[in-house]
């Protein structure tokens, strides 16, 4: 059978890739080893969180399903960093993982141009050096010029619980064997990472009354711009804490942990440490927070967040039972660690296409990342770019200043990661520009140009953009006069009192003036617009000066980005560069001077040398005057 694009793996990356390519008009085949496990949440049942909700919203604007399905299957909402500014605030949606999976599956099955099949890919098919299709383990052959690999942790996956280990892609499911060996024969560099997950316990064995109850937020915005409102049936989560007894128990069994007994040597994610790691690395802390989240409405399984572990089953049970409220807990599924093959993403172009194998894309955890959002974002971009390639168009490369997705992919293809890559706001040098509340401003034009959205979705976004603009002009026109209320508020934040009238826009710029103050001062205007629109406009105003500063810096940086390095530039002939720099540049082959500068180990001096040679090589002679 012939297709335009074949996606191998139907996890968070795979479904977004398949959706994007089919939405663009490609004939797409999506292959999964288990059709019941589409977009399965192997770890925590949640979408969003710090720096991740930004990604989920970016995916949303570019037509992806992640945020919508999270809203449709939501179990609890939380807004994180609420007391900090809008650029670092984030929405976290805990979801019913079974509903999430089910809804995703239903969407996949009903997407036009997309065919789902259960099969395991054994090898890729070539015609000369050109990729042509795939062959499954039972000998089926499917043909396409674009193949996207999104195998997550399944390639040569090996799970560990204590000293026991077994081949596995995810607990209870077989790994994908053979594919990574095949990829190695193509000269693709493959290494191993490890990650882990927490035990799931029986809700009936947990005494929730002795834990801190955390209600869902009910007044926040849904994750997706297309969701009208929050589900009404939201539930609570619970907080618990480890104690010195817990730590002692864990410390006593460290020799049975595959992480500490030398069985697992692969690197794990520093920002999502196992409980063993936490005890060892933060030895001075006498307690760690746990959060208990029910995995769905139709199950008693409870996810014990914060205690990712690969200790033997007995030890897991023993340390859990030292925790208040878990004294008689029963484990349904033990936590485990998993080692898997990933590819070094510096072998990829910024379009996520393999440099050496045109037509072959990699996206998701297989590229060494961690997190559903990071995976989904890559899947989406690989899907879009395979679609663009199918129609012989230039790839879509988002800039670091445009999207967290841009930061993510630029980091992946420029820097070799030595631990699973997790997004953090501090990785985004332009994070004041990359907010949860302005994804539509940043990315809608790309969605429209590449036909990633339905007409009705486009109209919805345009309406939001319109409202925002309207409100912006209204707050500039509406003036408030000095009053007792304003001046006492100003005094409270140490500012001079008002002598004459001031626009709402000017007032919003001042610290201490947020939406409650505005509501009090101009209640009629406030009521004319939705809370969401006010929030968006407020954050535009609060950051105004900084955004201008960012933009002027950006202009400077972009001059470096505009200095293109010709394809096939011979770095190894540049004897003035240190050997290490020559090797790195030859391996990664940056497209611009800007990208070259972000490669770890390339010094500014090397960049200067490169700039000098590039400008000498260019027709204009030795000067790069504009």
Partner 1 sequence: MATKPEKVEAVDTICALSTALGRSALAVIRLSGPGSLFVLQKMTGRKEFHPRRATYEVLRDRDDSVLDEAVVTYYPAPNSFTGEDMVEISCHGNPIIVEGILNEIVSRETRLAEPGEFSQRAFVNGKLGLQQLESLDWILNSRSPAGFRRGLRAKLEGLGAPLKEIEAGLMEVLGDIQSQLDFPEYEVGRFDKTKLISGLRSFKTKLEASLGSYTRALRTFNSWKVVIIGPPNSGKSSLFNRLLGYQRSIVFNQAGTTRDLVEDYLSFEAMDLVLVDTAGIREANEAIEALGIEKTLASLKEANVICWLTDTGVAPPGKLMELHADKNWLVISSKQDSGAPFLEGSLGVSAHTGEGLDDLRKLLKPLDQAEKSDELGICSERQRVHLEAAIAHLEKAAADIESDVYLEIAAESLGLAKKELELILGEIPNDDIIRSILSRFCIGK
How far apart (Å, rounded) are the C-alpha atoms in residues 313 and 333?
9
Mask of contacts with partner 1, 536-555, x by CB under 8 A?
------xx--x--x------
Question: Which residue lies nearer to partner 1 by CB, 35 or 80?
Answer: 80
How far apart (Å, rounded) are the C-alpha atoms in residues 368 and 363?
9
Contacting residue, 6, 225, 357, 432, with partner 1 by CB under 8 A: 432
How far apart (Å, rounded) are the C-alpha atoms in residues 125 and 140?
12
Question: Which residue lies nearer to partner 1 by CB, 400 or 542?
Answer: 542
Residues in the chain, overall count: 626
Give backbone dihedrals phi and psi of 479, rounded to 5 degrees, phi first: -110, 150
Token pair in block for residue 404: 């967290």
Residue 204 binds to partner 1 (criterion: CB under 8 A): no
- Rounded to a whole number of angstroms, the minimum distance from the CB of residue 52 to partner 1 is 11
How far apart (Å, rounded) are the C-alpha atoms in residues 442 and 263?
46
Contacting residue, 174, 578, 587, 592, with partner 1 by CB under 8 A: 578
Contacting residue, 171, 177, 465, 611, with partner 1 by CB under 8 A: 611
Q: Which of 33, 102, 113, 91 is nearest to 65 (CA)?
A: 102
* Binding piece for partner 1, criterion CB under 8 A, among 151-159, 225-233, 379-387, 597-605: 597-605
Residue 283 binds to partner 1 (criterion: CB under 8 A): no
- Rounded to a whole number of angstroms, the minimum distance from the CB of residue 215 to partner 1 is 17
Give backbone dihedrals phi and psi of 581, rounded to 5 degrees, phi first: -65, -40
Strand 212-214 and strand 237-241: the pairing is: antiparallel
Q: Which of 557, 587, 560 is nearest to 571 (CA)?
A: 587
Q: Which residues 472-511 are close enough to bind partner 1 by CB under 8 A?
A: 493-494, 511
**Does residue 497 contact residue 490 with C-beta atoms inside 8 Å?**
yes
Report the side by side order of strands in the sheet with 130-136. Answer: 121-127, 130-136, 141-143
* Binding piece for partner 1, criterion CB under 8 A, among 108-116, 123-131, 426-434, 457-465: 426-434
Question: Which residue lies nearer to partner 1 by CB, 138 or 622?
Answer: 622
Residue 604 binds to partner 1 (criterion: CB under 8 A): yes
- Rounded to a whole number of angstroms, the minimum distance from the CB of residue 65 to partner 1 is 27
Residue 560 binds to partner 1 (criterion: CB under 8 A): yes
Residue 51 binds to partner 1 (criterion: CB under 8 A): yes
Q: Which of 455, 500, 456 is nearest to 481 (CA)?
A: 500
CA angle 143, 144, 150 (to 5 degrees): 105
- Rounded to a whole number of angstroms, the minimum distance from the CB of residue 512 to partner 1 is 8
Contacting residue, 172, 523, 566, 601, with partner 1 by CB under 8 A: 566
Question: Which residue lies nearer to partner 1 by CB, 262 or 494?
Answer: 494
**Does residue 223 contact residue 46 with C-beta atoms inside 8 Å?**
no
Residue 569 binds to partner 1 (criterion: CB under 8 A): yes
Residue 609 binds to partner 1 (criterion: CB under 8 A): yes
Contacting residue, 455, 524, 527, 567, with partner 1 by CB under 8 A: 567
**Does residue 328 contact residue 353 with C-beta atoms inside 8 Å?**
no
- Rounded to a whole number of angstroms, the minimum distance from the CB of residue 338 to partner 1 is 24
Q: H or E element: which one contains 437?
A: none
Q: Which residue has the tokens 């290494």?
A: 191
Tell me the number of residues near partner 1 by CB under 8 A: 54
3-class DSSP assignment, residue 495: coil
Q: Which sign does the torsion angle of CA 61, 63, 67, 73 carry?
A: positive
Residue 615 binds to partner 1 (criterion: CB under 8 A): yes
Give backbone dihedrals phi and psi of 58, rounded to 5 degrees, phi first: -65, -45
Q: H or E element: which one contains 281?
A: helix 275-281
* Binding piece for partner 1, criterion CB under 8 A, among 9-17, 374-382, 525-533, 616-624: 616-624
* Number of Cβ atoms within 10 Å of the Cβ of 624: 14
Q: Which residues 235-274 are close enough to bind partner 1 by CB under 8 A?
A: 271
Question: Which residue lies nearer to partner 1 by CB, 177 or 515?
Answer: 515
Question: Which residue lies nearer to partner 1 by CB, 84 or 476?
Answer: 84
Token pair in block for residue 405: 């997705």
- Rounded to a whole number of angstroms, the minimum distance from the CB of residue 54 to partner 1 is 12
Residue 607 binds to partner 1 (criterion: CB under 8 A): yes
Question: Which residue lies nearer to partner 1 by CB, 255 or 284?
Answer: 284
Burial (Cβ within 10 Å: 0-12, 13-18, ≥19) of residue 117 = middle
Mask of contacts with partner 1, 76-105, x by CB under 8 A?
----xx--xx-xx-----------------
How far apart (Å, rounded) are the C-alpha atoms in residues 617 and 626?
17
Contacting residue, 27, 557, 583, 587, with partner 1 by CB under 8 A: 557
* Binding piece for partner 1, criterion CB under 8 A, among 165-173, 214-222, 447-455, 606-614: 606-614
Contacting residue, 425, 438, 441, 450, with partner 1 by CB under 8 A: 425
Using the CB atoms, write b or e for 158-195: b if 16+ within 10 Å: bbbbbeebeebbbbebebbbebbeebeeeebebebbbb
Question: Which residue lies nearer to partner 1 by CB, 524 or 567?
Answer: 567
Question: Which residue lies nearer to partner 1 by CB, 507 or 593?
Answer: 593
DSSP string, 369-385: B-SHHHHHHHHHHHHHH
Contacting residue, 524, 527, 573, 579, with partner 1 by CB under 8 A: 573
Residue 1 binds to partner 1 (criterion: CB under 8 A): no
Residue 612 binds to partner 1 (criterion: CB under 8 A): yes
Q: Which of 125, 178, 184 is nearest to 155 (CA)?
A: 178
How far apart (Å, rounded) are the C-alpha atoms in residues 126 and 42?
33
**Helical pair 244-252 and 313-320, crossing angle rounded to 10 deg:** 170
Mask of contacts with partner 1, 453-472, x by CB under 8 A?
--------------------
Residue 529 binds to partner 1 (criterion: CB under 8 A): no
* Binding piece for partner 1, criterion CB under 8 A, among 116-124, 153-161, 333-341, 613-621: 613-621
* Number of Cβ atoms within 10 Å of the Cβ of 404: 31
Task: List residues near partner 1 by CB under 8 A.
Answer: 50-51, 80-81, 84-85, 87-88, 271, 289, 424-426, 429, 431-432, 493-494, 511, 542-543, 546, 549, 556-557, 559-560, 566-570, 573-576, 578, 593, 596-597, 604-605, 607-609, 611-613, 615-617, 622-624
């Amino acid at each position: 059978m012939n297709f335009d694009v074949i996606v191998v793996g139907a996890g968070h990356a795979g479904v977004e890739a398949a959706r994007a390519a089919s939405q663009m008009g490609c004939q797409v085949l999506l292959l999964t080893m288990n059709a019941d496990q589409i977009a399965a949440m192997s770890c925590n049942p949640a979408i969003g969180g710090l720096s991740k909700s930004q990604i989920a919203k970016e995916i949303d604007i570019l037509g992806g399903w992640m945020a919508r399905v999270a809203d449709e299957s939501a179990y609890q909402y939380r807004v994180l960093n609420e007391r900090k500014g809008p650029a670092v605030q984030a929405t976290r949606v805990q979801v019913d993982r079974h509903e999430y999976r089910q809804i995703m599956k239903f969407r996949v099955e009903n997407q036009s141009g997309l065919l789902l099949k259960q099969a395991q890919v054994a090898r890729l098919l070539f015609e000369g050096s050109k990729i042509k299709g795939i062959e499954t383990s039972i000998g089926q052959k499917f043909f396409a010029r674009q193949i996207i690999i999104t195998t997550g942790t399944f390639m040569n996956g090996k799970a560990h619980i204590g000293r026991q280990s077994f081949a596995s892609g995810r607990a209870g499911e077989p790994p994908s064997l053979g594919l990574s060996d095949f990829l190695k024969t193509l000269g693709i560099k493959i290494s191993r990472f490890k990650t882990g997950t927490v035990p799931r316990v029986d809700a009936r064995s947990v005494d929730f009354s002795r834990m801190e109850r955390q209600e869902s937020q009910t007044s926040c915005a849904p994750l997706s711009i297309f969701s009208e409102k929050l589900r009404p049936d939201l539930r609570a989560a619970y907080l618990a804490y480890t104690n010195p007894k817990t730590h002692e128990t864990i410390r006593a069994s460290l020799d049975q942990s595959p992480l500490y007994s030398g069985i697992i040597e692969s690197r794990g994610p520093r920002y999502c440490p196992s409980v063993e790691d936490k005890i060892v690395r933060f030895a001075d802390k006498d307690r760690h927070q746990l959060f208990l989240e029910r995995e769905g409405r139709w199950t008693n399984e409870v996810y014990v967040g914060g205690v990712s572990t690969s200790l033997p089953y007995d030890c897991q049970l023993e340390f859990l039972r030292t925790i208040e409220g878990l004294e008689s807990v029963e484990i349904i599924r033990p936590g485990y660690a998993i080692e898997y093959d990933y590819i070094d993403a510096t072998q990829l172009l910024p379009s996520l296409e393999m440099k050496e194998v045109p037509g072959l894309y990699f996206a998701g955890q297989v590229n060494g990342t961690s997190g559903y959002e990071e995976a989904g974002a890559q899947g989406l971009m690989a899907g879009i770019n395979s679609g663009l390639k199918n129609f012989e168009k230039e790839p879509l490369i988002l800039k670091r200043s445009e999207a967290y997705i841009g930061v993510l992919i630029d980091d992946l293809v420029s820097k070799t990661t030595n631990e699973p890559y997790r997004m953090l706001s501090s990785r985004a040098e332009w994070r004041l520009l990359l907010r949860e509340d302005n994804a539509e401003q940043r990315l809608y034009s790309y969605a429209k140009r590449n036909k990633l959205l339905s007409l009705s979705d486009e109209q919805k976004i345009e309406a939001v953009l319109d409202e925002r603009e309207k409100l912006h002009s209204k707050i500039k026109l509406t003036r408030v006069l000095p009053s007792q209320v304003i001046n006492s508020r100003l005094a409270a934040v140490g500012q001079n009192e008002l002598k004459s009238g001031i626009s709402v826009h000017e007032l919003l710029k001042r610290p201490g003036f947020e939406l409650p103050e505005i509501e009090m001062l101009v209640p009629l205007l406030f009521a004319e617009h939705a809370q969401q629109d006010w929030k968006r406009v407020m954050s535009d105003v609060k950051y105004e000066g900084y955004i201008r500063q960012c933009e002027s810096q950006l202009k400077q940086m972009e001059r470096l980005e505009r200095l293109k390095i010709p394809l096939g530039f011979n770095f190894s002939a540049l004897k003035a560069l240190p050997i290490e720099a020559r090797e790195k540049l030859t391996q990664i082959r940056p497209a611009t001077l800007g990208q070259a500068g972000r490669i770890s180990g390339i010094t500014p001096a090397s960049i200067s040398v490169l700039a000098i040679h590039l400008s000498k090589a260019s027709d204009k002679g030795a000067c790069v005057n504009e």
